[in-house]
Chains A and B, each alone.
Chain A
Amino acid sequence: MSGTLAVYQKELATYFRSPIAYYVVAVFLLGTGYFFLYNVFLTGETTMAGTFQNMGILLLTLVPVISMRLFSAEYSAGTAELLLTLPLSPWQIVLGKYLGAVTILALMTAGTLVDLVPLYLFGTPETTTILAGYIGFVLLGMACLAVGQLFSTVTHNQIVAALLSAAVLLAFWFVGHLQTFQASPGVRALVGYLSFSLHFTDFIQGLVRTEGLVFYLVVSAIALTLSVAYLQWRR
């Protein structure tokens, strides 16, 4: 536990002593602010539904920037040789790093709470729906970060890690659209189930379904387990 905590704190210190964290949080909040203004003030709806949808896409593009350095930078700087020979199990390393990245996600999410102020001042939004949207957003982010971390685990090159994660995350986001072209109900159900965006849409609409909850957590768990397995295998 203390090992995980030490890795976690080291990760956070590294994020905040480089421009990455500031850049990612700033871009995300500027983007979200713009979408919020567009959705709420131009359409006159006092909901977060449209904004959440846009936040999801924005998140997809920013997650690779957060996750790409997690392991790739350790390999290329030679610090992996320290990290992997310290008295730390692969799980402690993977979890410590993952939690560091999730903290950046939490900060991004917390920053968007500012948008709720005008929403509550000038309208009567449904609190439970907004809450469900936020739960979905954080779960989506956690799953994306775990996938991004997995790709960072397998390559020395941060750019390659970012490109691979971006491609895979976009595929998971848009895979639901294949439903339109599929006749077989089985395939339709499958691509629907695999879709990051369809589960997220449930949350945005205020539905905290076990299916979606479990989906994101299972994706995260699988990706983290694969990262651990890779670290053990590469020896």
Chain B
Amino acid sequence: MSSTSAVIALESVGKRYGSRTVIHDLSFTVEKGEIVGFLGPNGAGKTTTMRMIAGFTAATSGRVRVAGYDMASQNVQAARLIGYLPERPPLYDALDVSAYLRFVARVKGVPRAAIAAELERVTTACRLEAVVRQEIFKLSKGYRQRLGLAQALLGNPEVLLLDEPTAGLDPGQIQETREVIRGFGRDHAVLFSTHILAEVTLICRRVAIIHHGRLLAIDSPNGLQRAVEQTNRVTLQATAPAQALREQLLSIDGVTALDIRPSPSESGMLTVDCQVDARNGIEAAIARAVAGRWDLHRLERQQPTLENIFLTYVTAPPDRGRSA
């Protein structure tokens, strides 16, 4: 698992709080020049994992290594190489923006003579020029989030850990923040967590999916895309003869496969899962085709949400749902 170029390496990491285990046997690596997206719903264990990699909490089993340092015992040495944006931006409200950044830069060991240039670099990258003299408690949510990111970039760390870096930003700011992350990821190791699916597919080379503290999959966005396609599904309920309904549905352009079964609650009614391709308006075409001849009771497009992907990964091997 741990190759020589792995800057972040988790080896069978577990975390227990009392009798509650929140992370189970988690193993993955992030290499230099790689952006890895860390995907999971709230409460999946993303933040706990981030905290263990950052050295804020220690794993109760297994090993977390950052740049070769064991985070259980050498976290202070490793901290020089880590930029960390926690879920809640860690800002000192009483300070102004430049005093705050100067404090972090000094502690991170940025040489005194280089601090001004370093502040200039991160404030420009994170578009904070307009608020450099402002007190932090006066900043808007978007600025707070970007100041948290700026702080993490100080000292040009080898490893960047970002816990939901785009939360609370408007679309334009999200775009800019992604550019910053993308630029930084070219020659650093970046792990960032999110529950926004589109985000990881846009900028990550690999995606780790975590749920209930377990790693479900670590894959390229393309691999994830296949899972997304599987959840492109339309579910409908109709009262109709099964064979005729099947033929009618399969004749619609865009319906690739389907699964018909009797509805458990009402006799005579059928529940149909249609595998469809991603085009728009497919559900309208299905509705017209069915409602023209029979009683259509319900029709629903299953969105390719994160939850659906989880279900795909949790409940079955990737080929399920294609049976006609």
State the A residues within 8 Å of B (CB). Answer: 2-3, 6-7, 9-10, 13-14, 17-18, 77-89, 235
Contacts and interface: CB of A to CB of B under 8 A. Distances in A.
Contact of B84 (A9, A85, A89): A85
A17 B86 contact: no
B104 A84 contact: no
Nearest to B57: A235
B80 interface: yes
B202 interface: no
Interface in B79-93: 79-80, 82, 84, 86, 88-93
Given A10-B92, A84-B56, 11 more contacts: A3-B107, A6-B107, A17-B94, A17-B95, A78-B88, A81-B88, A81-B90, A82-B84, A82-B86, A235-B56, A235-B57
A96 B88 CA distance: 24
B54 A2 contact: no
B103 A6 contact: yes
A82 B95 contact: no
Contacts of B182: none
B135 to A, nearest CB: 8
Contact of B107 (A18, A77, A87): A87
B152 to A, nearest CB: 9
A117 B149 CA distance: 53
B150 to A, nearest CB: 12
Given A86-B79, A87-B76, A78 B106 contact: no
B271 to A, nearest CB: 47
Contact of B106 (A6, A14, A82, A235): A6
Contact of A85 (B58, B82, B95, B135): B82
Nearest to B163: A81
B51 interface: yes
B132 to A, nearest CB: 16
A17 B58 CA distance: 34
28 contacts: A2-B106, A6-B106, A10-B92, A10-B95, A17-B135, A18-B94, A77-B90, A77-B91, A79-B92, A81-B56, A81-B88, A81-B90, A82-B84, A82-B104, A82-B151, A85-B56, A85-B79, A85-B82, A85-B84, A86-B107, A86-B108, A87-B80, A87-B107, A87-B108, A87-B109, A88-B107, A235-B56, A235-B57
Interface of B: 51, 54-58, 75-77, 79-80, 82, 84, 86, 88-95, 99, 103-104, 106-109, 135, 151
Contacts of B55: 84-85, 235
A83 B75 CA distance: 13
Contacts of A2: 106
B58 A235 contact: yes
A22 to B, nearest CB: 13
A41 B129 CA distance: 58
Nearest to A235: B58
Contacts of B89: 78
Contacts of B109: 87
Contacts of B95: 10, 13-14, 17
Given A13-B95, A77-B93, A82-B151, A89 B76 contact: yes
Contacts of A13: 94-95, 99
Contact of B92 (A14, A86, A88): A14
B1 to A, nearest CB: 24
A227 B295 CA distance: 72
A13 B102 CA distance: 12
Nearest to A9: B103
Nearest to B83: A85
B107 A85 contact: no
Nearest to B103: A10
Contacts of B56: 81, 84-85, 235
Nearest to A14: B94
Contacts of B92: 10, 14, 77, 79
**Nearest 4 CB-CB pairs, A to B?**
A82-B90, A87-B79, A17-B94, A78-B88
Contacts of A82: 84, 86, 90, 104, 151
B183 to A, nearest CB: 23
Contacts of B57: 235
B15 to A, nearest CB: 11
Nearest to B79: A87
